[in-house]
Structure 1
Amino acid sequence: MTYRWTTPDRLELRPHRSLPRRGFAGVIGLFFVLILVPLTAMLGTMVLWGLLPFAMIALGALWWGLERSYRDGDILEVLAIEDPEVTLTRTNPDRSVQEWRCNGHWVRVTKHDTGGPVPHYVTLNGNGREVEIGAFLSEDERKALYGELASRMRELR
């Protein structure tokens, strides 16, 4: 699961990383080796110097694309349930922080099976606002999250 209760009153949500950093290094290394295989036949010729810049540009583009994917997915949502207040804090990839607070008695957890940006979209309602939580989770994770949040908010009341 890409979300977990770190304490009974604190939930942390992060996007899933299908390629860990170790795998990132492996992909870059493998790509480098596979690019060098055809270039070894060109050793000692002028053709090598014509192909080498393109090979290195391709390697750099792969590295940049994977690194950008990691940066764009660097999101953290923290739901803190402290009697009487519930706080949802989202740290975006650009390090900006968004925060939503509401009295826990008035918080409503809603699951939108259709009509949201993703199926089984989960929102928190209260204090005159509706905020999304865990939109980056998989469909099954959002369903499980909804059940856990709904039961936790019932306990709070």
Structure 2
Amino acid sequence: MTYRWTSPDRLELRPHRSLPRRGFAVVILLFFTLVTIPLTAMVGTVALWGLLPFAMAALAALWWGLERSYRDADILEVLTLAAPEIVLTRTNPDKTVQEWSCNSHWIRITKHERGGPVPHYVTLNGNGREVEIGAFLSEDERKALYGELASRLSDLR
């Protein structure tokens, strides 16, 4: 799961990384190897200098795309269930921090089966606002998260 309870009153949520950093290195090395194999037949010809910039540009584009994917998924959501107040803190990829808090007595958790940006969209309501939690999780993870949060919030009251 891409969310975990680090303590009984603290939940951390992060997007899933399907390609770890070691896999990133393997993909780049494999791509470089597969691109340079056909180029070895051109060594010593003028055609090599015509093809080499495009091969390296493709390698640079792959590197940039994967790095961009890592940066865009650098999100951390922390939900602290400390009575009497519940605090949700979200750290965005650009390192800005958004914070929402509500009295634990007035908080309401809602799962939107349809109509949200994703199926089984989970929101927290309270203090005059509705905030999303775990929108980047898979559908099954959002269902499980809703059940766990509903249980923990009922125990907290």
Q: Do both proteins adopt the same fold according to a TM-score greater than 0.5, normalized to the shorter chain?
A: yes
Q: Report deviation, 1:25.
A: 0.4
Runs of at least 5 residues in structure 2 that lack an aligned partner in the other structure: none
Deviations 1:82-108 (A, max 9, x none): 111100000001111100000111111
- What TM-score do you get using the length of structure 1 for normalisation? 0.99
Q: Report deviation, 1:140.
A: 0.2
Distance 1:107 1:62 in 2: 44
Q: Report deviation, 1:9.
A: 0.4
RMSD: 0.4
Q: Structure 2 matches for 1:2-151, cutoff 5 A?
A: 2-151=2-151
How high is the sequence identity, in percent, across the aligned residues? Answer: 81
Distance 2:75 2:93 in 1: 6
Runs of at least 5 residues in structure 1 that lack an aligned partner in the other structure: none
Deviations 1:14-60 (A, max 9, x none): 00000000000000000000000100000111111111111000000
Q: Aligned residues, how many?
A: 157
Distance 1:113 1:53 in 2: 50
